[in-house]
Amino acid sequence: MTQIPPQGSALLPLIDLAGLLDGSPDGAARVAEAIGHACRTTGFFYVVGHGIEPRLLEAVFALQRRFFALPLAAKAALAIEQAGNNRGYVGMESENLDPDAPHDVKEAFNIGRESTPGDAAAPTPWPDLPGFRAAMSQLYAALRQLSCDLHRAFALDLGQAAEYFAPLVDRPAATLRLLHYPPLGQAADGRLGAGAHCDYGNITLLAQDDVGGLEVQTRDGAWIAAAPVPGAFLCNIGDCLMRWSNDIYVSTPHRVISPAARDRYSLAFFFDPNPDAWISCLPSCVSAGRPAAHAPIRFDAYLAEKLASTYRRAAD
């Protein structure tokens, strides 16, 4: 079930999701146990057996390279400040994930959930690139389903029915984020591709090119490489799921050290609850010896606080 990845770190397990996805109760229980152990310790783990076609990922990476190679004016026309709702282009050095470090040296493009009958969603300002919207929408749908499947494992591990989270994540505040890090290395002025931070929501699924640069902080404060593993997504726990689990799961700091001589591309799928979902410590995670550590909060209010803090720091 769990093995050391051929690349990456021996401290970050690789978990085959086949037992979770094939409908076997015993297989689901084994996968949930392996995932639960990773969530309690490193907060990061690789997943394979997820069913997402390599050809789709190859197409998406090729398209995002084309997008970031567009003239700045074309990208700026899709700016997040104009589109709103956390959709659109995020310019270079617009974010400051670590308030004690210089601004992050990266650019991004955020894609949100598309509207369906009975489920209105804010539009994404799509670039005029053939095939771009279709490929991104296909990957978004696949990662959304994978994230829902992972939440069945979380529920089982945390003592809930497998479908506990289903009505709380069926209209998710999920974002597919394309990322480009120009060559930088660890410059003398301390600039990084992305400063040390924990993610805000429930989980993040990450696909990387072969450049590397992502680092994860261990419990003793050391930084270890979380290198690409062919065919795998890297999953990490965010602050919101940690809060839901009453801090049984851990949200782990991570950062990006941009390479010295190569551009780095990655894509991250941030899967968060429905905007109106109440985040309250699960009853199975609360006991006399472990009282609730957090007051209930609606996810939209929680996320607004987190995003405002990040962009406010970047503007300082």
With 0-12 / 13-18 / 19 or more C-beta atoms within 10 angstroms meaning exposed / middle / buried, residue 210 is exposed
Who's near 33: CB < 8 A, 6+ residues apart? 157
pLDDT 10s digit of each residue in the chain, 316 long? 444 444 444 579 999 999 999 988 999 999 999 999 999 999 999 999 999 999 999 999 999 999 999 999 999 999 998 888 889 999 887 776 777 676 778 999 999 988 777 777 788 999 999 999 999 999 999 999 999 999 999 999 999 999 999 999 999 989 999 999 998 754 546 677 888 889 999 999 999 999 988 999 988 889 999 999 999 999 999 999 999 999 999 999 999 888 778 899 999 999 999 999 999 999 999 998 899 999 999 999 998 887 776 655 545 5
Report yes or no: 74 and 88 within 8 Å, Cβ to Cβ: no
**Which 3 state secondary structure label does DSSP give 6?**
coil
**Residue 225: strand pairing partners:** 215
Segments of the chain assigned E as strands: 2-3, 14-16, 44-48, 88-90, 107-112, 175-181, 194-197, 203-208, 214-217, 223-225, 233-237, 254-256, 264-271, 278-279, 297-298
CA 86 to chain CA centroid, nearest Å: 14
Cα 132 from Cα 135, distance rounded (Å): 5
Assigned CATH for 54-315: 2.60.120.330
The residue type at 16:
D
Contact 156, 188 (CB under 8 A): no
- Annotated domain spans of the chain: 54-315
CA pair distance 242, 294, nearest whole angstrom? 10
The residues, any chain, with a CB within 8 Å of residue 187's CB and separated by 6 or more, are none
- Considering only CA atoms, which of 248, 278, 289 is closest in space to residue 37? 248
Q: Which two tokens stand for residue 141?
A: 């749908």
From residue 210, alpha-carbon distances to 60, 201, 229 in Å are 15, 26, 9
Tell me the pairing of strands 44-48 and 14-16.
Answer: parallel
Give φ, ψ of 290 to 5 degrees. Answer: -140, 75
